[in-house]
């Protein structure tokens, strides 16, 4: 299980724009770096990140080797209704991780 | 040194050849060495590939990044696009490209009216001092960009495996 | 091999940067500055906000390890120490501390391993391992914002003195001492990098160069490699003594753990 830091409000007013800030532990091995034996270390990065709000895709990102290790991603979404935000990260070597945030929307 | 835009603003469709040809023509009065020109060409080509050759205008986009970084391994940045983010007028996508890393692409984001605010933040790796370009596609199909020069100094002490 | 040329370049760079911040304390003033003040605003922002600080990945891990039973004892840290926020408050600020059983000073990481061995009957954690760093970071976080308070224990004095001597002693192919960069040339530049004063206020630290969390020992070993000296082994007595001296040198400065540094 990958370690993550998720920062998002647990409640919001309807129509309010909230910020979701995420960090996930991952080496993001570029695929350009030589190892100690001189051979290039194979790429091992997170390639895709997405956020589904009550099932609907509200944000997605395609990441490349230029993203720093332990990738940090922050984005915004409109608090439309109470429910869950499902964050998912996918990458090389079958990497897959999901986190669920509950959001309570009032008003 | 005043930087000349890498991709000329024109109403006609820019083909890759046109972009490269344009860059070469600019080369006469832009002070760049051959290697630097090649890197700039590749960057222009990557942007053109993303926009499908459509014209890219300057403005609306702000790429916020330190001009002089502490360490090229982890450089925080934020891209913000001036847009009401309504169903009728919003940012569809944002992409970031670089000039001198081993690969041009940095990240590509997909937004939409549900984003509420067109602002994304992440942290990137910078191999050396170079240009960065953030490109945004609006819901009306237009492309806008912001280009920034970042200075990267390498760490003075070589640590080896510690 | 490029080392001799680079060695010359570094030596020249150090000489050329000349005097940065003066090592003399202005009358009545404390000229000590944390490495935090030598960083750019975006790096500072990473440290100031726990939501942005990558070190919190390890702290969160440490928090769950604190409650996890370990070894044959089946006891977790929490069984003896209860909530870390109260029992561990101020602890990291007074380390390294003298250990009765071993009759020598120990770092926080070594202390944690002693606990594991003798009170949990668990295997010790490897130096610089994710688990040990996570526990260290979690415990040290409980001293955040408290002043570094090395204990006034007379038994530590001879070890601290050794540490001070090593700090002042030239070493490596570049023949530089810690003091030459960090006392005499702090505030100046080595190549493109600003030289900090080397106060251990933020350890374990998320270092951008490593793209990971690391201990003071890792950082000191890195510096030693940098001047082309053979680094002391992890947990070597020399490293403990240096840490003892560095914390005394930084006495009273606020702890920032977990720090972020370039």
Q: What is chain B's mean pLDDT, rounded?
A: 84
Number of domains in chain B: 1
DSSP state letter for C97: E
Domain boundaries, chain A: 4-106
- Judged against a pLDDT cut of 70, whether residue C138 lies above it is answered with yes
A82 has a chain C CB within 8 A of its CB: no
**Which segments of C49-105 does DSSP mark as H helices, in order?**
56-66, 77-81, 84-87
Residue B3 falls within a domain, yes or no? no
* From B98, B108, B112, residue closest to A62, measured CB to CB: B108
Q: Is the ipTM of this complex over 0.85?
A: yes
Residue B158 falls within a domain, yes or no? no
Neighbours of chain C (3+ CB pairs under 8 A): A, B
Over residues C139-160, mean pLDDT: 97
Fold of domain A4-106: Immunoglobulin-like (2.60.40)
- Judged against a pLDDT cut of 80, whether residue C6 lies above it is answered with no
Domain that includes residue B39, residue range: 16-150
Convert the pLDDT of each residue in B96-135 to its tens digit.
Answer: 999 999 999 999 999 999 999 999 999 999 999 999 999 9
Contact C211 A7 (CB under 8 A): no
**Which of the pair, C15 or B59, is modelled with greater confidence?**
B59
At residue B28 the predicted structure's pLDDT band, cuts being 50, 70 and 90, is very low
Provide the chain B residues 42-71 that lie in CB contact (below 8 A) with chain C: 65-66, 68-71
- C49 neighbourhood in chain B, CB within 8 Å: none
Nearest CA in chain B to A61: B109
Residue B10 falls within a domain, yes or no? no
**Can you spell out the DSSP letters for A69-97?**
SS-EEEEEEE--SSEEEEEEEEEGGGEEE
- Most confident range (mean pLDDT) of B6-20, B26-40, C144-158 is C144-158
Note whether B162 and C225 are within 8 A (CB): yes
Q: What is chain C's mean pLDDT, rounded?
A: 91
Residues of chain A with pLDDT under 50: none
What is the CATH code for C32-49+153-261?
A: 1.10.760.10
pLDDT given for residue B153 in this prediction: 86
- Judged against a pLDDT cut of 90, whether residue B2 lies above it is answered with no
- Judged against a pLDDT cut of 70, whether residue B161 lies above it is answered with no
pLDDT given for residue C253 in this prediction: 98
- Judged against a pLDDT cut of 90, whether residue C136 lies above it is answered with yes
At residue B149 the predicted structure's pLDDT band, cuts being 50, 70 and 90, is very high
Query: What is the three-class DSSP state of C200?
Result: coil
Neighbours of chain A (3+ CB pairs under 8 A): B, C
pLDDT given for residue A95 in this prediction: 98
Over residues C42-65, mean pLDDT: 97
Note whether B96 and B134 are within 8 A (CB): yes
Contact B114 A58 (CB under 8 A): yes
pLDDT given for residue B31 in this prediction: 55
Provide the chain A residues 26-55 that lie in CB contact (below 8 A) with chain C: 27
Mean pLDDT lowest for which of A81-95, B9-23, C133-147? B9-23
Convert the pLDDT of each residue in B62-78 to its tens digit.
Answer: 999 998 899 999 999 99
Convert the pLDDT of each residue in B31-46 to its tens digit.
Answer: 567 777 888 899 999 9
Q: Copy the structure tokens of residue C38.
A: 């030598």
Query: What is the three-class DSSP state of C55?
Result: coil
Mean pLDDT lowest for which of A46-60, B12-26, C46-60? B12-26
User: How far away is chain C from the Cα of A4, in angstroms, using its nearest Cα?
Assistant: 6
- Which residue intervals of chain C bear CATH 1.10.760.10? 32-49+153-261, 56-141
Over residues B142-153, mean pLDDT: 96
Dihedrals phi, psi of C40, to nearest 5 degrees:
-70, 165
Percent of chain B with pLDDT over 70: 78
Note whether C240 and C127 are within 8 A (CB): no
- Judged against a pLDDT cut of 90, whether residue C191 lies above it is answered with no
**Which of the pair, A29 or B11, is modelled with greater confidence?**
A29
Note whether C84 and C62 are within 8 A (CB): no
Residue B94 falls within a domain, yes or no? yes
Residue B5 falls within a domain, yes or no? no
Query: CB-based burial of residue C125 (10 Å sphere; 0-12 exposed, 13-18 middle, 19+ buried)?
Result: buried
Residue B123 falls within a domain, yes or no? yes
CATH of the domain at B115: 2.60.40.2470
At residue B159 the predicted structure's pLDDT band, cuts being 50, 70 and 90, is confident
Contact A73 B119 (CB under 8 A): no
Percent of chain B with pLDDT over 90: 67
Contact A3 C61 (CB under 8 A): yes
Class of the CATH domain delimited by C56-141:
mainly alpha
Over residues C67-84, mean pLDDT: 96
Maximum distance among all Cα pairs of chain A, rounded to whole angstroms:
61
C193 has a chain B CB within 8 A of its CB: yes
Percent of chain C with pLDDT over 70: 89
| Residue partners of B147: CB distance under 8 A and separation at least 6 | B3, B5, B6, B58, B63, B131, B132, B133
Nearest-angstrom CA–CA distance, C199 and C209:
18
């Amino acid at each position: 299980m990958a370690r993550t830091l998720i920062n998002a409000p647990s409640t919001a007013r309807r129509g309010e724009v909230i910020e979701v800030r995420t960090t996930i532990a991952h080496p993001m091995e570029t695929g350009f770096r030589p190892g100690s034996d001189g051979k290039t270390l194979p790429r091992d990065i997170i390639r895709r990140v997405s956020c589904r709000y009550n099932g609907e895709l509200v944000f997605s990102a395609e990441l490349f080797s230029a993203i720093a290790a332990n990738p940090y991603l922050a984005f915004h979404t409109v608090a439309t209704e109470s429910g869950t935000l499902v964050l998912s990260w996918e990458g090389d070597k079958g990497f897959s991780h999901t986190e669920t945030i509950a959001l309570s929307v009032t008003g | 040194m005043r930087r000349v835009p890498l991709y000329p603003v024109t109403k006609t469709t820019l083909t890759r050849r046109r972009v490269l040809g344009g860059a070469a023509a600019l080369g006469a009065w832009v002070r760049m060495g051959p290697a630097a020109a090649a890197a700039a060409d590749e960057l222009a080509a990557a942007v053109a590939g993303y926009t499908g050759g459509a014209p890219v205008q300057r403005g609306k986009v702000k790429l916020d990044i330190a001009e002089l970084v502490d360490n090229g391994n982890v450089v925080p940045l934020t891209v913000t696009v001036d847009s009401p983010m309504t169903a009728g007028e919003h940012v569809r996508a944002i992409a970031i490209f670089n000039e001198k890393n081993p690969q041009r692409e940095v990240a590509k984001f997909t937004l939409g009216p549900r984003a509420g605010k067109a602002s994304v933040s992440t942290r990137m790796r910078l191999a050396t001092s170079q240009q960065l370009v953030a490109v945004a596609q609006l819901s009306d199909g237009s492309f806008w960009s912001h280009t920034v020069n970042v200075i990267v100094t390498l760490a003075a002490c070589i640590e080896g495996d510690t | 091999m490029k080392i001799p040329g680079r060695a010359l370049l570094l030596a020249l760079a150090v000489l050329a940067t000349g005097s940065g911040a003066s090592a003399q304390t202005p009358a009545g003033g404390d000229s000590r500055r944390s490495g935090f003040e030598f960083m750019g605003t975006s790096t500072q922002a990473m440290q100031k906000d726990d939501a942005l600080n990558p070190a919190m990945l390890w702290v969160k891990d440490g928090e769950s390890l604190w409650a996890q039973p370990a070894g044959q004892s089946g006891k977790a840290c929490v069984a003896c120490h209860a909530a870390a926020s109260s029992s561990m408050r101020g602890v990291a600020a007074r380390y390294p501390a003298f250990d009765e059983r071993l009759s020598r000073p120990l770092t926080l990481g070594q202390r944690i391993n002693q606990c594991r061995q003798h009170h949990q009957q668990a295997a010790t954690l490897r130096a610089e391992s994710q688990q040990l760093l996570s526990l260290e970071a979690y415990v040290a976080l409980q001293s955040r914002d408290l002043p570094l308070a090395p204990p006034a224990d007379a038994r530590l004095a001879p070890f601290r003195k050794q540490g001070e001597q090593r700090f002042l002693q030239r070493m490596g192919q570049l023949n530089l001492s810690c003091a030459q960069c960090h006392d005499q040339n702090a505030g100046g530049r080595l190549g493109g990098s600003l030289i900090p004063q080397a106060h251990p206020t933020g350890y374990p630290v998320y270092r951008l160069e490593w793209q990971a969390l690391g201990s003071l020992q890792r950082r000191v070993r890195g510096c030693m490699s940098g001047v082309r000296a053979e680094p002391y082994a992890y947990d070597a007595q020399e490293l403990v003594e240096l840490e003892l001296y560095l914390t005394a040198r930084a006495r009273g400065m606020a702890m920032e753990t977990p720090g972020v540094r370039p």
